[in-house]
Structure formats: C-alpha cells, structure tokens
Structure 1
C-alpha cells in the first residue's frame, strides 16, 4: 500500500506542475511555498529549532491555525525552554500564522509527503515531538517518525463522516499511521468514537474539547471595532449583514437575503468574505448584476470610503476580527454540500449565527449551538432571506441568541490547557520508558534521503518496481547532466568561457566522485611538504556548509584561527587547525581568494582544496584522488551515480593519487591503474595510506591547534565505541581495528550530520551500558559536536582520531615532479 501511495503521490505532483506554474504567477508567495515544500528553506529559518528538541505543531490552513494559536500559548507556558516550530500547507495559513502566532520560534511550510523528502526534513529538524492539528496525517512523514522515534500526539483531533469512509480504504497505510500516534486528544465524543472506529486504541483516546474556544487573537475592543467599520466605509448603517467563507453558489442566496433586508432597513450594509480570494472579481460582478454598488477591502485601503452597499473582504486573516462588526452572520460552505466552516470565530464575538444544512464537517460544534438555539439552520435562499430579515426586525430575538452564544463559549474554554498538560504527561511517560531512555539514533536504525539514495545508486536496494522506476528517471537526468558537464568543459577548453590566471603556482586537489576520498588530510600533507620546501603556501577552500558568506573569508592566517567550525565549514576548519604557518581562506571564487592571499600573505603556492571541477581558474598541477576502497563510485554520473563527471575526464590529471591502498580489496589498485592509463597514459600514479597520528581528547582538541594528543598505541586492547558521520565509515572502523582497538559498538550517522546534545547524551549512555572504555570519533565529527559536550564531565572519555597521509609507492616521483614544477615557475 505504501508503494502505491508513493507512486500516486509522484504522479500527482508531476500532473499538477502546470497548475503550480500558473499559481506561481497569480498568487503572491506561492513560489516560496513550493520552495519550502520541496525542502529548500530560507537561510537561518530553522536555526532556532533544528536539532534543538523543538515542539513541532502542524496546522494545514487558516482554520487549523486559529485552533493552533491558543495551543502555542499554553505550550510556551508548559515548556518554557523548548523551542516551538509551526508548519502550514497553504499560503493563507502561512500569512495567518505569522500574523497571530507570536510565540513560535519558526514558521515554515510543511514538506510534500513524497518518498524521502518528508523524512529528510523531519530528520533534519529532529523535533522532540510532532503534533498534527485536527487530522493532518501523512504516511511518509509518519513512517519516518516511527523509524527515528519521534513521538506523535494528535491535538484538537477532528474526523468527519466523509473522512471515516475515505480512510478505511487505506488499509495497512491507515494502520501504520494510527499506530504511530501515541495519544489522540479529540474535540468531541463523536470524534473520539470515529478515531477509535479507524483503529485507535481506546486507552490512547481522550476528549479535550475544541481549542478554538480558547482563541483570543480575534478579541476586538469597542475602539477597534469602530475603526474597522470606518475603514470599510460602513459608518452609515442600520445593521450589517456579514457572510463569511462563502462558496460558489451561495453568494446568490446571500444577495437575495440582503435584498429582502433592504426592504425594511434601507441603510443595511453587506460584507461578503469569499472563501477563495481568487473568486473576488466573480463575486463583485454578481453584486453589480444584483443591482448593488460594491467595493473591496483592498481598494478601500488605498482610497477614501464611498459608502457602497457591499464590501468584499478580499484580504487574508482578517475575517476573525471583521466578524465583530456583523449584526447577523451567515457562515458559508453550508448551503452547498461542502461541509460548512467553523462557527466558533463569529461565536467568539457573541453573534447571531445562521448556517446551511450541510454542516457535516463540524457536526459536534454545530449540534452544540443548534440544540441551544444559538444557531439557525436554513435550506435555501428563501429560508435564508426569511431568517436574516427576522433577526434584523426582531432585535430581542437576536440578542437572546447572542447571549446564548457567549455562554457556550465561556463554558467550553480550557481545551488548550488540557492539551498542554496531556502533552507533558505523554512526553514524561514516553521519554522515561527503558526502550527510549537508552535509544541511540544511529543510521543502523534510521536512514534519510542521503543514505537511502547512496544505497540505492550503489544497487543495494533495487528490489521492487518503485526503486527501478526511480533509477530509470535518475539515469535520464544523468545523461543530461553529463552532456552539460562536457559542454561546459569544452567551453573552457576552446576559450568560449574565459579562464582566470593567478601569478602564483596553483595546485588543484580533487576527485571525480562524490564522497570522501581523503582530500582534507592530503591537502594538509601537501601543504606541509611545500611549506617545508621554503615556499609560502596557502589553501583555498570553497567553504562548503559555511555560515560565513562573502567574497574572501580568513579561517586562519597561519598563526591563529579567525573562524569557528560553523562559520568556516568543517573541512576548512580542520585544515586550519593542523597547519601552522599556512593561511586557510574560503570563498566561492578561488581567483578572488587567491589574489587576496598573494596581496596579504605573499602566497607563492595556492592549493585548491576540492578544485578539480573549478575550471574557471588555470592551474599548474592537477592532482586527482581516487579512493581505492570505493573505486570510481558506481560508474554512473550524478544523480544516477556518484560521479561528478565522466571517468574519461581523468585525462586532465597530472598525478593520480590512490588513497587508502592498505584497505583496498584485491585487484582494486590494478583496476585503477588500468583505468587511469586507458584515459591518461602520461599521468603519474602515486599510492598513499591514511595513517593514524594520535588520539586527542575532545576537550583538548577544541582549544589547541596541532595538538600532539596521546600515542596511538595506548588504544590497543581498549573496548571502544566508534561514532561517525562520514562518507566512508567502514574505512574509519577498519583503521581502529588495525590499531588493536576492540570495537564493541559502531554508530553510523548520515554524512555531515550535526549532532544534537540529546543525541550525545544517548551515545554516552549506551557506551556506558555496553561497558565501553572510550568513545572514538573522527575530526569531521568533532566539528559537528556541540561545544557543551567538551565542557561537560562524562564518565567515559571521548577521543578524536587524527590521521595523516603517508605517500607510498611513487612518492619519489611525486616529490621530484613537484620540486621541478615549482622551481620552473617560481625560480627557487
């Protein structure tokens, strides 16, 4: 069932792309909605919530945001130290959330529930708990929540008759979704009965009431009410009829009722708020056709009011407050079989309310008001005209309804507070249980988009129709990508695109595959060797994942660090930590950072870290790294494989450096040699190994540059836990085993994973339970671990393994070539 759902979801997205294109032109903010729905969030949008154990509340649109507003206030009181994230689906919901929810730390669009995408965003944020408002259940998202042990609690739960019938067709998909939710806080006994009918265990279902009774954002003072009336040009009136959230087919009935009211109240005015703002001009034409003068709210914001008969409310998020000016209110979506809209917003203002007979989406709230004569029901335009006229003509009857409405609202407040208390109790119970107290979130238990993709393209998960379909699509994109790469490279080769040149010796160091080949330690070794030859050398890094943005960033001037790991990016920071007297600079354009290095540091040699594809800059020496453990990826170009460019582009390399040859499988090195010679007979081939230099305690690693640490022999025979978030964790673990360490547990996280404090606490707890004597991480992991971890005192020490590259076979040729080329260019 999950497979069918995923195929259907992808097909639907593809089919509605044309509609998305139209809406992106017509609707303000729609492009940003799609960007975020695809997982591309604005810079720093998630800084306050990402991996900070936030409370994630999801509300689809305006109605759910209204219900969410009082919940957020209560969650803030109950969890003052927990950041709060609110997500929405619609642009109107997004605008409404930003307007009325002031206690949220971040407000975003919810990701599309596509395979991998929804899970990728969930793993990135890693909330403490996920709270869908009403019935926002998404299979892929909840599937990931189960895998990574994020508890889910439904708040202000509501199930319509129609939804019950539709959900039953989901079978196993429904069971999985319902089984993910730890607690169901439902609006009414009817909703509770329906959710149990769908499979929710009775002991997990409770009735809290409707949180919309608690909302206060629509509170309007007498002065504010008068201001709204004046701004909308409604000052001269003998009664205001307000029709909210109307649908196509209802405005005609509303206009018929207004015409009847005008017979006895000639100065009565009408406000219509169409549910869909795109229908504004359609409703304007209907009003004019009926013989009334009409204007819109947005038009009145730019010109003086003209006392028109009708005002169309064509703004987002104002209806809740504008309900306050109505004397009689009709709530739409109910004369047509849409299911109605929530009557609690006008009820909060104590209004006399009229609805149509189709209120099945709000059955319980509707029944509550109807049974106490606080709400009138009509079947058609004639009955609507009759009831509206009666309420205008009989103010005492209208006032009785208004009093009863206010009484119902007063009696039903408190659902938000109940929900906050239930959430606290649920989290205490969940987090204190043995299976969750000692749970470690490792990629042995979870996969995200990145790790799933890597397994998929390496043919580790190709069973079934769906993966094969994805692989076929990716292959087509690979052909396109490969063509574009070749065109771009040809442009530089034949002078169509201009290359830039530096007045220093430029060495490019890189690879043709995605993932770790050992560029960072190789760049360190190369820089040290050139420095020791007497040349002034700098390293130019692009600053991958750096928070710093600008043309030239100085990570290190060779004497001290000027940026931390977050600012510089982990690769540049690690380079700077181990290279005294070698400045490290970051910037997207290496020509600019190179010129800066020459002007300010007197650079004679510039090493382009990960620069094999940086064709914009001429280089004197190209060194290509090939991982002897993971040879040329899987032979396919991105996105079908892990090749950045075709293998034939080995032809550009002056030197091919095989890394980790001591860990290579039999025949791998011979295969690499044959492949290199096939495309580049002139290239020199050099072998290297990654040799551990020392183990540095994390506390010492954080404060010292080029620390010596402890001898590697001291780890022999120790029971250790290996923790890593790198491209090739097997190589790291093999290195530890070769040193004689006893690995009792290995935890693997996605490459470039940022560790949360809660994760580190879990790791230490599991290491203690397993009887580990030490935890060992890589330098790449060290820069991703919170500084607070180093400052805390733990029962088990954590060490950072520092490795260095040692050139093996072919090293003499490399040294000779390097000295010769440097002397020819620089004259030393």
Structure 2
C-alpha cells in the first residue's frame, strides 16, 4: 500500500504543477513549495533546537494558536518552524509572530520527508486536527522524534477505519498522543488499537476566548454602527449575499445597519454586490472619504479584522452552509454573546448542532425563513439577548483543551 501511495503522491505532485499554469491558488503552493528547502537550509543550523508545528490551512492554525503561543513563550531558545499545506493558510500567516520560519510543507515523498527532517530535526512536532502525511510521520517515528496530534476529529467513514487504510492507520501511530475533540473520535481510535488518547475537546474554544482579552476596538466600526442594531454577515458567499440583498432592499430602516464581509474580496465581485444594494453603501477600502455614520451598509473588502468586527454585532450571519463550501467559523461571533444565523448544510459541524439545540443559533434554507428569523432578532431585543447569551454559555462550557495539552507536555 505504501508503494501505491508513493506512486499516487508523485502523480499528484506532477498534476499540481500542470494545473498551476491555470489556477492561481495552486500556483502559489507549487512555487512556495519550491522555496521550502532553500529557506530551511538558510535559517536552521545543526546546533539549533527546533519545534515543528503543521497546519493544513488557516482554520487549523487558528485552532492550534493558543497551544503555539504557550510553547513559544516556554521554548524561548528554540526555533519554531510553522508549515502549511494550503496557500490560504500560508499567504495570510506567513509573517506569524509565533514562528521563526513559515514554509509550505513539501509534497509527502520519502525523499522530501527525509530531507525536511534532516534539517529541522524537531524536539517536538504538533499536527493540528488532520492533514496526516504518512511519509513525514513514519520518518518521525523511525527517528523516535516526539509528535502529538491535537484537536483531532475522526469519522467512521474515513480511510483510517477501512480495510484499505493500513498506510494511514500506520501513520497515526507516529503520534505519541492524540487529543481528540470528542468521545466518538476516541472510540474510533481505540477500534484500531490506538490507546494513547485523551478527549480534551476543541482548542478553538480557548482560541476564541483569547479574543476577549484583546483590544477589539475599531473606531471606524463604532462610527458606522452609531448605537444602532447591527447585523454582521461574515465570510459570505453569493447564495447568502442574495438573501441579504433582498432583505435590505425590501426592509430599509434607519434603525438597522449591516456589515458584510465577503469570503471572496475580488474587486469585481465586491463592486457587483455594492451595485445590487439600493441604499447608502461604503467599502472599507474607500472609508476615508465617506461619512460612515450616514451609511447603512458597510462592505469589508479586506481580511484579518472580522473577529474584531463581531464584537460590534447585535446579530451575526456566518456563511458557507447555504452552499457546499462548508460552514465558516461560528465560534468567533458566539464568544461575544451574539445570536447566529447559518444555512442548513451544517451536519459536519457539531458546534452548530449544539448551538442550535441550545437556542442560540438558527438554521435557514430559504429566503422566507431567513427573513422571519432576522426580523424577529432585530425587533425583539429580549429574544436577541437571550439567544446570544446561550452561545456565550456554550463557549464557556467547552473551554479547557489547551490546559490538558500543556499538562501532558509538562508546561
């Protein structure tokens, strides 16, 4: 199976290089990976002690960040290498202060794994959630290098638990310990005779609680909101934006303001969204020349500030679940005690089900349901506040994963 895997991974590498000529995101990854060994060899010496953190993309980075910060503080004399597989993680966090070097993970071939670990030789490796690469992990195990997996989440239909998943199962045993988000994941690992498991929960809860300790002040949002009821639509896609366009154009009210932060901030799509809204609309990129207090719609055509913007929300909508792109981060608004509206394709997101069950989140599948719940939340302040408080309670009830991980590491 490892022979077939290595053939497949080489074909994948060749395919990515071909597709890179036509896809900008894949091109970034291909070109970025080509620089990895040069960067490593010019940044790390044989005398350096190192830690290696690996994340598939941006979401996993945010998930691991509370642990990374604690380790950065503890291992002050170590160099930290942070690797990403996806450009959407690397390009946004390539200057992360928790790492001395941020790189793309090379393609998972035996040669690349050996070369990477010859240079880095980490005293501790942490993978977040998934992105299990057999050659890297098996090489770590052969060299008896300590590795753990945190915030892991497994499903019964994954390859690890199928008759053909031997190679991936073997890779899991490279981890000295796996911290899972839930009991189901622990049970599945036990079923393949992996026993070094702790159900610690999801580090994302600790991550979002850290946000409350930050300065979330954004003067331009305060000016725009002007003490009105404010709906923040985060990480939106066209299907969700269509609901907002119809709602706003049909329910124009001076008492209700909207901040829309699209997932895709390409200028042509931003301009198209703005043109469809029949009321005073301002773009973040043009805010210096506008009177924000007079605007009803504020479109955020930049990245990196959404978590702070949620602190100003009276109501939040989180995109991704009306289509097939996957629900975006609902914990970020939840920690601020905000009621949340999402689409109906949320079945792979246990936190969504939990908040729906508690009464702080509302799932909609059509424009009618969207309009009904948004109107109810906007007009009934008691209902709005009570619903939002249930989300904050949910976050508080699920904190503590980071402490368990750090205790295991004796930090």
Q: Which residue of 2 aligns with 1:407?
A: 393
Could you tell me whether the CA contact under 8 Å between 1:38 and 1:117 is conserved in 2? no
Equivalent position to 2:104, from 99, 109, 117? 109
Could you tell me whether the CA contact under 8 Å between 2:243 and 2:367 is conserved in 1? yes
Q: Deviations over 1:345-380 (max 9, x none)?
A: 1122221112222223321x2233223222222222
Question: In structure 2, how many angstroms separate the alpha carbons of the residues matched to 1:308 and 1:114?
Answer: 54
Root-mean-square deviation (Å): 3.2
Secondary structure, in 3 states, of the residue corresponding to 2:53? strand
Q: Which residue of 2 aligns with 1:381?
A: 367
Question: In structure 2, how many angstroms separate the alpha carbons of the residues matched to 1:19 and 1:323?
Answer: 37
Equivalent position to 2:183, from 174, 179, 189? 189
Question: In structure 2, how many angstroms separate the alpha carbons of the residues matched to 1:75 and 1:331?
Answer: 31
Equivalent position to 2:211, from 218, 240, 253? 218
C-alpha deviation, 1:294, in angstroms: 4.1
- Shift in alpha-carbon separation, 1:132–1:51, aligned structure 2, 3 A: farther
- Shift in alpha-carbon separation, 1:112–1:165, aligned structure 2, 3 A: closer
C-alpha deviation, 1:226, in angstroms: 4.5
Q: How does 1:749-828 map to 2 (within 5 A)?
A: none
Could you tell me whether the CA contact under 8 Å between 1:92 and 1:317 is conserved in 2? no
Q: Which residue of 1 aligns with 2:403?
A: 417
The alignment status of 1:152 with 2:147, answered yes or no, reads yes
Question: In structure 1, how many angstroms separate the alpha carbons of the residues matched to 2:9 and 2:261?
Answer: 33
Could you tell me whether the CA contact under 8 Å between 1:78 and 1:424 is conserved in 2? no
Q: Which runs of 5+ in 1 are unaligned?
A: 426-828
TM-score w.r.t. the length of structure 2 is 0.86
Question: In structure 2, how many angstroms separate the alpha carbons of the residues matched to 1:293 and 1:115?
Answer: 57
Could you tell me whether the CA contact under 8 Å between 2:53 and 2:126 is conserved in 1? yes
Secondary structure, in 3 states, of the residue corresponding to 1:333? coil
Question: In structure 2, how many angstroms separate the alpha carbons of the residues matched to 1:299 and 1:40?
Answer: 41
Q: How does 1:709-728 map to 2 (within 5 A)?
A: none
TM-score w.r.t. the length of structure 1 is 0.45
C-alpha deviation, 1:127, in angstroms: 0.6
C-alpha deviation, 1:409, in angstroms: 2.2
Q: Which runs of 5+ in 2 are unaligned?
A: none
Q: Which residue of 1 aligns with 2:84?
A: 88
Larger Rg: 1
C-alpha deviation, 1:416, in angstroms: 1.0
Question: In structure 2, how many angstroms separate the alpha carbons of the residues matched to 1:404 and 1:45?
Answer: 50
Q: How does 1:675-754 map to 2 (within 5 A)?
A: none
- Shift in alpha-carbon separation, 1:316–1:116, aligned structure 2, 3 A: farther
- Shift in alpha-carbon separation, 1:164–1:408, aligned structure 2, 3 A: same
The alignment status of 1:59 with 2:47, answered yes or no, reads no
The alignment status of 1:255 with 2:245, answered yes or no, reads yes
Question: In structure 2, how many angstroms separate the alpha carbons of the residues matched to 1:10 and 1:294?
Answer: 49
Give the aligned length: 409
Could you tell me whether the CA contact under 8 Å between 1:257 and 1:386 is conserved in 2? no
Question: In structure 1, how many angstroms separate the alpha carbons of the residues matched to 2:379 and 2:11?
Answer: 55
- Shift in alpha-carbon separation, 1:298–1:32, aligned structure 2, 3 A: farther
Could you tell me whether the CA contact under 8 Å between 1:242 and 1:270 is conserved in 2? yes
Q: Which residue of 2 aligns with 1:10?
A: 10
The alignment status of 1:268 with 2:256, answered yes or no, reads yes
C-alpha deviation, 1:228, in angstroms: 4.1
C-alpha deviation, 1:207, in angstroms: 0.8
Q: How does 1:11-90 map to 2 (within 5 A)?
A: 11-23=11-23, 31=28, 34-36=31-33, 39-42=36-39, 46-47=43-44, 52-76=48-72, 79-90=75-86
Q: Deviations over 1:682-717 (max 9, x none)?
A: xxxxxxxxxxxxxxxxxxxxxxxxxxxxxxxxxxxx
Could you tell me whether the CA contact under 8 Å between 2:178 and 2:198 is conserved in 1? yes
Q: How does 1:409-448 map to 2 (within 5 A)?
A: 409-424=395-410
C-alpha deviation, 1:403, in angstroms: 2.1
Secondary structure, in 3 states, of the residue corresponding to 1:355? strand
C-alpha deviation, 1:169, in angstroms: 7.1
Of 369-378 and 58-67, deviating more is 369-378
Could you tell me whether the CA contact under 8 Å between 1:254 and 1:381 is conserved in 2? no
Q: How does 1:334-345 map to 2 (within 5 A)?
A: 334-345=321-332
Could you tell me whether the CA contact under 8 Å between 1:241 and 1:258 is conserved in 2? no
C-alpha deviation, 1:420, in angstroms: 1.4
Equivalent position to 2:309, from 322, 328, 331? 322
The alignment status of 1:291 with 2:301, answered yes or no, reads no
Secondary structure, in 3 states, of the residue corresponding to 2:322? coil
Could you tell me whether the CA contact under 8 Å between 1:159 and 1:194 is conserved in 2? yes
Could you tell me whether the CA contact under 8 Å between 1:51 and 1:126 is conserved in 2? no
Question: In structure 1, how many angstroms separate the alpha carbons of the residues matched to 2:120 and 2:296?
Answer: 50
Question: In structure 2, how many angstroms separate the alpha carbons of the residues matched to 1:62 and 1:253?
Answer: 27
The alignment status of 1:350 with 2:343, answered yes or no, reads no
- Shift in alpha-carbon separation, 1:369–1:194, aligned structure 2, 3 A: farther
Question: In structure 2, how many angstroms separate the alpha carbons of the residues matched to 1:309 and 1:18?
Answer: 46
Could you tell me whether the CA contact under 8 Å between 1:33 and 1:90 is conserved in 2? no
C-alpha deviation, 1:3, in angstroms: 2.7
